[in-house]
């Protein structure tokens, strides 16, 4: 086993105009973990995720994936579920599957079809005809059907009902493998905390805590949700 | 085997407790081969790393053991499971008598109540 870090972020800063959105972020993430990136709305979660996905450029600092600087090579090993859909909703699900297959070398279309079937979704259907929850499930199935090293899911649970949340968590868990890591950003902590290995608290553009979830529970004798609330009174 | 977790307590500790009950009650018998970490994790709907940690804890308590490349097994020593059962039974009994004491009932009365509900 190589001990090279899967994701390494060094002294990362990001400003929009004069507003500092991320301040001196330092993070190390290794393989085989499910990590919760937890923070209030506007804390900087999505900005950080966009930087890791090369959709924004750092003001200063560095991001490395498998020791490589962000770019074409790193995009190949990162599977990203954005907060808002980028899919053309006029398409039918099977057309989107075809698009993914053309686009990503590591996309397993058989797996995607199997997952969609398990989630009770019809691949002949137009995305426009689907509810928000169904569209979320389609996107998640596609993202989890890539054989990536790092999966980044930005708010996969927002705007879906509790039953769909359970489905989504089960899908994430059953597709998790020891060679990859999954970063899940959310402000809905109580729904997701049972599946997390590690938590990262982000507030006002700073990483304020990175810890094993169970160690933190043990130390504070409380749930992650409770600890988070105590730390950042709304 | 789906269980509800209390988010206030480390998940692996709760898994250890559930597993102990399974061992005591004979869901998994002495010397029996256990499902894989992966299968357990799927059944309990938990992170495989957390399941691994729980099984490692059970192993350090000698309640289960790993046979190289073959997987994990329940201990062959029946005494260990019996001892665990005894400890659980004592804890449950103590908490019953403590509860009765709180409402002003002594040992004799508490035993009478036990017999009454068991009739």
Render pLDDT for B63-117 as a digit per residue (tens, 0 to 9): 999 998 889 999 999 999 999 999 999 999 999 999 999 999 999 999 999 999 9
The rounded distance, in Å, linking the Cα atoms of A114 and A77 is 22
Q: Is A2 inside any structural domain?
A: no
Q: Is B2 inside any structural domain?
A: no
Whether residues B63 and B16 share a domain: the answer is yes
Per-residue model confidence (pLDDT) at position A234: 57
User: Is A173 an 8 Å CB contact of chain B?
Assistant: yes
Whether residues B85 and B107 share a domain: the answer is yes
> Hunting for tokens 């000698």 — which residue is that?
B62
pLDDT-based confidence at B2, cuts 50/70/90? Answer: low
* Cα of A203 to nearest chain B Cα, Å: 22
Could you please report the per-residue DSSP string of A66-112?
Answer: TTEESSHHHHTTEEEE-SS--S-TTSBHHHHHHHHHHH-TTB-HHHH
> Hunting for tokens 């529970």 — which residue is that?
A217
Q: Is B4 inside any structural domain?
A: no
Q: Is B1 inside any structural domain?
A: no
Per-residue model confidence (pLDDT) at position B1: 59
User: Is B118 an 8 Å CB contact of chain A?
Assistant: no
Q: Is A130 inside any structural domain?
A: yes
The rounded distance, in Å, linking the Cα atoms of B64 and B87 is 18
Whether residues B46 and B100 share a domain: the answer is no
Residue A106's alpha-carbon distances to A17, A66, A97, A102, B60, in angstroms, are 37, 17, 13, 10, 40
Taking residues A198-219, report their average pLDDT: 95
The rounded distance, in Å, linking the Cα atoms of A37 and A29 is 12
Select from B7, B48, B53 the Cβ nearest to the Cβ of A223.
B7
The rounded distance, in Å, linking the Cα atoms of B33 and A37 is 37
Residue A40's alpha-carbon distances to A43, A225, B30, B84, in angstroms, are 5, 12, 49, 45
**Ramachandran quadrant class, B77 (left: phi over 0; alpha: psi -120 to 50; beta: rest):** beta
Neighbours of A12 (CB within 10 A): 21
Does A223 sit within 8 Å of B11, measured CB to CB?
no
Whether residues B52 and B104 share a domain: the answer is no
Q: Is B3 inside any structural domain?
A: no
Residue B112, burial from CB neighbour count under 10 angstroms (0-12, 13-18, 19+): exposed
pLDDT digits (tens, 9 = 90+) for B9-48: 999 999 999 999 999 999 999 999 999 999 999 889 899 9
Q: Is B70 inside any structural domain?
A: yes
Q: Is A1 inside any structural domain?
A: no
- Count: domains in chain A: 1
Q: Is A134 inside any structural domain?
A: yes
Whether residues B92 and B70 share a domain: the answer is no
Select from A33, A176, A222 the Cβ nearest to the Cβ of B8.
A222
For residue A197, give the nearest of A219, A174, A214 by alpha carbon: A214
Whether residues B107 and B63 share a domain: the answer is no
Whether residues B57 and B21 share a domain: the answer is yes
User: Is B56 an 8 Å CB contact of chain A?
Assistant: no
Q: Is B6 inside any structural domain?
A: no
Per-residue model confidence (pLDDT) at position A16: 94
Both tokens assigned to A175: 């597709």
B118: which residues sit within 8 A by CB, 6+ positions away? none
pLDDT-based confidence at A1, cuts 50/70/90? Answer: very low
- Count: domains in chain B: 2
pLDDT digits (tens, 9 = 90+) for A143-197: 999 999 999 999 998 878 888 888 889 889 988 988 899 999 998 899 899 999 9
The pair phi, psi for residue A68, each rounded to 5°, is -105, 145
Per-residue model confidence (pLDDT) at position B77: 94
Whether residues B66 and B83 share a domain: the answer is no
pLDDT-based confidence at A32, cuts 50/70/90? Answer: very high
Taking residues A22-32, report their average pLDDT: 96
Does B47 sit within 8 Å of A195, measured CB to CB?
yes
Domain that holds residue A40: 7-231
Q: Is A78 inside any structural domain?
A: yes
User: Is B19 an 8 Å CB contact of chain A?
Assistant: no
- pLDDT at A221 exceeding the cut of 80: yes
The rounded distance, in Å, linking the Cα atoms of A231 and B107 is 47
Whether residues B85 and B100 share a domain: the answer is yes
The rounded distance, in Å, linking the Cα atoms of A183 and A192 is 12
Does B42 sit within 8 Å of A174, measured CB to CB?
yes
* Cα of A77 to nearest chain B Cα, Å: 22
Domain that holds residue B25: 11-76
Q: Mean pLDDT across chain A, nearest whole number?
A: 92
Whether residues B15 and B72 share a domain: the answer is yes
User: Is B110 an 8 Å CB contact of chain A?
Assistant: no
CATH label of the domain that carries residue A190:
3.40.50.300
Which H/E stretch holds residue A232?
none
**ipTM of the prediction greater than 0.85, yes or no:** no
Task: Give the relative orientation of helices A132-144 and A162-174 as an angle to the nearest 10 degrees.
Answer: 10
Q: Is A186 inside any structural domain?
A: yes
User: Is A219 an 8 Å CB contact of chain B?
Assistant: no
CATH label of the domain that carries residue B45:
1.10.10.10
Whether residues B85 and B29 share a domain: the answer is no
Whether residues B15 and B65 share a domain: the answer is yes
- pLDDT at A4 exceeding the cut of 80: no
């Amino acid at each position: 086993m190589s001990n090279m870090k899967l994701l390494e972020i060094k002294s990362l800063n990001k400003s929009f105009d004069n507003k500092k959105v991320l301040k001196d972020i330092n993070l190390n993430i290794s393989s085989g973990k499910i990590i919760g990136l937890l923070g209030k709305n506007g804390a900087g979660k999505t900005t950080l995720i966009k930087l890791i996905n090369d959709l924004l450029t750092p003001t200063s600092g560095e991001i490395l994936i498998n020791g490589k600087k962000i770019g074409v090579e790193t995009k190949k090993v990162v599977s990203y579920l954005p907060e808002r859909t980028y899919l053309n909703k006029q398409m039918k699900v099977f057309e989107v599957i075809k698009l993914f297959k053309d686009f990503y070398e590591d996309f397993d279309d058989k797996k995607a079809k199997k997952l969609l079937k398990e989630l009770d979704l019809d691949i002949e259907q137009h995305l426009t005809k689907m509810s928000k929850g169904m569209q979320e499930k389609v996107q998640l199935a596609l993202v989890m059907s890539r054989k990536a090293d790092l999966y980044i899911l930005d708010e996969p649970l927002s705007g879906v009902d509790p039953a769909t949340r359970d489905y989504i968590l089960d899908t994430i868990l059953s597709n998790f493998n020891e060679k990859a890591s999954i970063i899940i950003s959310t402000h809905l902590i109580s729904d997701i905390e049972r599946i997390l290995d590690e938590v990262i608290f982000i507030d006002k553009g700073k990483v304020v805590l990175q810890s094993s979830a169970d160690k933190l529970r043990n130390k504070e004798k409380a749930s992650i949700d409770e600890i988070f609330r105590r730390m950042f009174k709304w | 085997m789906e269980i509800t977790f209390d988010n206030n307590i480390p998940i692996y500790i709760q898994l250890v407790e559930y597993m102990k009950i399974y061992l005591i009650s004979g869901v998994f018998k002495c010397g029996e081969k256990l499902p894989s970490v992966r299968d357990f994790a799927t059944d309990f709907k938990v992170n495989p790393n957390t399941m691994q940690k729980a099984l490692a804890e059970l192993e350090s308590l000698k309640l289960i053991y790993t046979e190289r490349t073959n997987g994990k097994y329940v201990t062959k020593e029946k005494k260990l499971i019996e001892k665990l059962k005894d400890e659980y039974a004592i804890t449950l009994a103590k908490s019953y008598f403590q509860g009765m004491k709180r409402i002003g009932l002594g040992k004799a009365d508490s035993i009478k109540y036990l017999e009454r509900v068991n009739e």
